[in-house]
Amino acid sequence: MIILSAIIGSTLIASIAGISLFIMGNSSATQTGSHNLLDGISIPTNRYLKADVTVNGYKLIVDLALTQDQQTKGLAVKNHMNESEGMLFVFQQPSRPSFWMKDMKFPIDIIWLGANRSVVYIAPNLEPCPSQSDCPGYVPSRDSLYVLETTAGFSHRHNVTVGTQTNFQLAG
């Protein structure tokens, strides 16, 4: 469930179960749109589309968080995740989305990707927040168009660094 906490100027602060996303700047609250990944695709509202993501030769099968509802739920609906699984958030335009670990049940890595699908920022080994009042936000230092969430330690185990190129396409 998404709870709109405040709308100030062009800043929309959306509290998301499991992850809070702060969309800064002039970005729209609409989280879907035309992207290379989604061109010509009808986005279902009752299920997640899947994508194959390759990072340094390692293949993940990820759920695509495309709709506001899907981004609201994020990974908070899962109790655990395998190494070859993840979630890819797709945004309408580049921004610096901030995430937090509220209501998460397991640790993860959060990897921000630019429009060219290369890594622009990594927040590794993030633990679930002990409480809402003790729950920091994580913000990339550069704009991103995609955010990949993986198992904790994934970026270390697979030598993912800023500049690492990823590839992804719709599964199926």
What's the CATH fold of domain 2-170? Answer: Jelly Rolls (2.60.120)
For residue 54, is pLDDT > 80? yes
Cβ-based burial of 87 (10 A; exposed 0-12, middle 13-18, buried ≥19): buried
State percent of the chain over pLDDT 70: 74
Report how far residue 18's alpha carbon sits from residue 76's, in angstroms, rounded to the nearest whole number.
4
For residue 161, is pLDDT > 50? yes
Report how far residue 168's alpha carbon sits from residue 53's, in angstroms, rounded to the nearest whole number.
4
pLDDT in tens, 92-133: 899 999 898 988 999 999 999 999 999 999 999 999 998 888
User: Given this model, what pLDDT does residue 171 score?
Assistant: 86
Report how far residue 17's alpha carbon sits from residue 104's, in angstroms, rounded to the nearest whole number.
8
User: Given this model, what pLDDT does residue 41 score?
Assistant: 66
Statement: the pTM of the whole predicted model exceeds 0.85: no
- The 3-class secondary structure across 99-150, one letter per residue, is EECCCCCCCEEEEEECCCCEEEEEEEEECCCCECCECCEECCCCCEEEEEEE
